[in-house]
Amino acid sequence: PIMIPLLGLGVAALVIGFFKWLQLSRVRLVREADLQRVLRHLERRENGEAVAYARGIPGVAGDLLATAVEHVDEKKEYIEEIVYEKMLGARTRLERGIAFLALCATTGPLMGLLGTVMGMIATFKLISSFGSGDPKLLAAGISEALICTATGMAVAIPALLLHAFLSRKAKGIIGSMEQTAVGFINGVPEAEKPAYV
């Protein structure tokens, strides 16, 4: 009975890992050339063109840059707060589902071990009822019980690798967004700005 939820857990981990990988690989990061182009537009007081260019960058990184450009006339401290809030939302979206892979990597071997223990209990019950006259039956029962442990490991290893890979990819995207935010705030042309409230 343990094999069905264990296999379901493995399939769920692979499906979520695949779709998460697709989502993260489609994220376009803001390149240095993009940031410089936006900053040049702002230096020339072409705020509309800067917003349009930033909006043209698809995904969370472009959205972050566009939000920063829209608030360019505010104090830098206020821009930092807005950008930080935007990044928290982006981090939540990027990391959604990755924790489930860690859960699969932890739960898979435990479920496999539970199945093995249940199989061993059943095997020893048969031995106590019918005796251990044939060692082949005992070996077959133990071998069948160990399939659960092997399946648990087969679920855990890919889930753990997917978790590590996708976590690293998400952190790389978030790090690039932080770099873009810092580059934008440092590169914003200084002008007379309203008092920060």
pLDDT at 133 over 70: no
Considering the chain, what percentage of its residues have pLDDT values greater than 70?
92
Averaging pLDDT over each range in 41-55, 126-140, 162-176, 177-191, which range is the top one? 162-176
Half-sphere exposure of 17 (CA within 13 A, CB side): 24
Q: What is the pLDDT averaged over residues 40-48? A: 84
What's the pLDDT score for residue 8? 92
* Residue 101 and residue 166 in contact, taking contact as beta carbons nearer than 8 Å: yes
Instruction: Look at the alpha carbons of 20, 25, 31, 34 in this order and tell me if their dihedral is positive or negative.
Output: negative
CA distances from 13 to 2, 27, 70, 102, 152 (A): 17, 21, 39, 9, 12
b/e map 139-169, b = 16+ CB within 10 Å: eebeeebeebbebbebbbebbbebbebbbeb
Q: What is the pLDDT averaged over residues 170-191? A: 85
